[in-house]
């Protein structure tokens, strides 16, 4: 990895090509639907270094605006949410969900005509799987929405959580797609968890990669002593989706992880659990009471190793972060620093999926910089519903691809 390519991959704010590409060609997971209440408090949203506000109007529609009122720049997070509109509390200017200026009470003459000339940047939204998605690109034509399997399920079949993490967005994506760390970092959590505990039996998976229009699908294959192989087949869907196999091979569903940039050095790390043929059982929520705080954030900082418990380690816990798998991931990717200098890395065979992530992203952003729509952003011609993860134990040399 060169320093220039690392900058190209990681920077997303302002005119950075990676951020412009993602905003233009993909819908962005922006907020949890359940947090937006009709006529409730507008909520600040920061994405790609820019400030926005989201709200649910009286009739249930969701509006998504630039946070600053176009009049004098007061925050619309302070606005009154009523009558299917936001009204700025500074001078009473009123804006519909569609971004139309409805009232300017401080205008003494020709108020209706004046309203026509007040611009308010608003953005298309879509709700699916308990998430409010927004398109932040330029122009009038939003890209096709990627109708992945989990976005089409009925209520109750998905559970969405997210957590703010102090690191660059790519660090989140890479840990999602790094199957090799599963049996090492998470080995204590995996004990007694059924099939997935086999990741600790063989900590050196062999990767097989299958390039796809959306990114790639890969299998992490772990040969076992009895002649069988434990296979976890996951997918990377551009630009940040990890489609990850469930813990149990009998579960028909999976997990979606997104690493969405707040700015260059902070992310929202999303986790959506979904099941195809039944509602997600209550235990899948793992007792997290606040879906905007999943799992509870790291209890410390670098000065105390982010809350690592050495007494737990003495008693047998491998990492000392016994709260959850997510806490282990967040501690590790935060410890790397805000933006990893990838020129200093020494990669090995266990990094096969991470290397493919970088290749996909670099290829796409270089296409974008040449004025092209990246091939992986041709959403209308990508079979998103067919993207499905797999976890299974095979006898001998069975072909994992035939199982998908």
Name the pTM for this structure: 0.94
- Structural domain total, the chain: 2
| Phi, psi values for residue 128, rounded to 5° | -160, 140
Give yes or no: residues 113 and 173 share one domain: no
Give yes or no: residues 42 and 153 share one domain: no
Q: What tokens does 254 get?
A: 């999976």
What SS3 class is residue 218?
Answer: strand
pLDDT category at 191 given cuts 50, 70, 90 is confident
Q: What are the Cα distances from residue 297, in Å, to 159, 163, 286, 324, 328?
A: 19, 7, 14, 11, 11
Q: What tokens does 101 get?
A: 């200026």
Give yes or no: residues 37 and 167 share one domain: no
| Phi, psi values for residue 341, rounded to 5° | -85, 95
Give yes or no: residues 35 and 125 share one domain: yes
Q: What is the pLDDT of residues 325-363, one digit of tens each?
A: 889 999 999 999 999 999 999 999 999 999 999 999 999
Q: What are the Cα distances from residue 294, in Å, to 86, 156, 345?
A: 30, 18, 30
Is 391 in contact with 246 (CB distance < 8 Å)?
Answer: yes
Over 90: is that where the pLDDT of 228 sits? no
Over 90: is that where the pLDDT of 287 sits? no
Angstrom distance (rounded) from CA 205 to CA 191: 18
Query: 301: which residues sit within 8 A by CB, 6+ positions away?
Result: none
Give yes or no: residues 71 and 175 share one domain: no
Q: Which residue range forms the structural domain that includes residue 102?
A: 27-134
Give yes or no: residues 130 and 186 share one domain: no
Q: What is the pLDDT of residues 139-185, one digit of tens each?
A: 989 999 999 999 999 999 999 999 999 999 999 999 999 999 999 99
Angle at 351 between CA 345 and CA 353, to 5 degrees: 130
Give yes or no: residues 110 and 178 share one domain: no
Give yes or no: residues 98 and 170 share one domain: no
Q: What is the pLDDT of residues 366-394, one digit of tens each?
A: 999 999 999 999 998 999 999 999 888 88
178: domain CATH number is 3.90.380
Give yes or no: residues 128 and 153 share one domain: no
pLDDT category at 293 given cuts 50, 70, 90 is confident
At residue 233, the pLDDT reads 92
Angstrom distance (rounded) from CA 338 to CA 264: 8
Residue 243 lies in a domain: yes
Give yes or no: residues 325 and 373 share one domain: yes
Give yes or no: residues 110 and 214 share one domain: no
Contacts 24+ apart (CB under 8 A), 340-347: 340/6, 340/10, 340/168, 340/170, 340/171, 341/3, 341/6, 342/1, 342/6, 342/9, 343/1, 343/2, 343/3, 343/6, 345/1
Residue 9 lies in a domain: no
Q: In what order do the strands lie in the sheet with 94-96?
A: 80-82, 85-87, 94-96, 101-103
């Amino acid at each position: 990895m060169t320093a220039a390519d690392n900058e190209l991959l990681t920077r997303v704010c302002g005119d950075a090509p990676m951020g412009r590409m993602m905003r233009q060609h993909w819908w962005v997971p922006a907020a949890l639907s359940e947090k937006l209440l009709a006529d409730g408090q507008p909520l600040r949203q920061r994405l790609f270094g820019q400030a926005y506000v989201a709200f649910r109007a009286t009739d249930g529609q969701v509006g998504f605006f630039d946070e600053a009122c176009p009049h004098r720049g007061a925050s619309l997070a302070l606005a009154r949410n009523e009558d299917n509109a936001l009204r700025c509390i500074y001078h009473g200017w009123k804006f519909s969900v569609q971004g139309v200026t409805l009232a300017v009470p401080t205008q003494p003459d020709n108020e209706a005509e004046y309203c026509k000339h007040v611009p308010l940047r608003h953005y298309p939204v879509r709700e699916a799987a308990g998430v409010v998605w927004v398109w932040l690109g330029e122009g009038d034509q939003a890209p096709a929405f990627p109708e992945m399997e989990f976005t089409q399920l009925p209520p109750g079949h998905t559970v969405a959580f997210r957590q703010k993490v102090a690191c660059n967005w790519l660090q989140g994506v890479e840990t999602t797609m790094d199957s090799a760390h599963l049996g090492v970092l998470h080995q204590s959590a995996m004990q007694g968890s059924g099939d997935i505990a086999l990741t600790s039996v063989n900590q050196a998976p062999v990767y097989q990669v299958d390039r796809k229009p959306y990114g790639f699908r890969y299998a992490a294959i772990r040969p076992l002593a009895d002649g069988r192989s434990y296979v976890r087949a996951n997918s990377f869907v551009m630009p940040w989706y990890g489609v990850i196999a469930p813990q149990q091979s009998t579960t028909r569903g999976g997990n979606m992880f997104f690493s969405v940039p707040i700015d260059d050095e902070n992310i929202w790390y999303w986790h959506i659990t979904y099941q195809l043929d039944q509602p997600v059982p209550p235990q899948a929520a793992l007792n997290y009471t606040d879906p905007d705080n999943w799992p509870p954030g790291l209890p410390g900082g670098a000065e105390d190793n982010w809350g690592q418990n050495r007494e737990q380690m003495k008693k047998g816990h491998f990492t000392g972060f016994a709260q959850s798998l997510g806490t282990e991931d967040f501690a590790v990717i935060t410890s790397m620093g805000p933006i990893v200098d990838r020129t200093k890395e020494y990669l090995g065979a266990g990094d096969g999926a991470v290397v493919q992530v970088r290749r996909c992203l670099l290829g796409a952003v270089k296409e974008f910089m040449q004025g092209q729509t990246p091939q992986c952003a041709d959403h209308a011609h990508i079979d998103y519903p067919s993207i499905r993860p797999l976890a299974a134990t095979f006898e001998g040399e069975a072909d994992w691809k035939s199982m998908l």
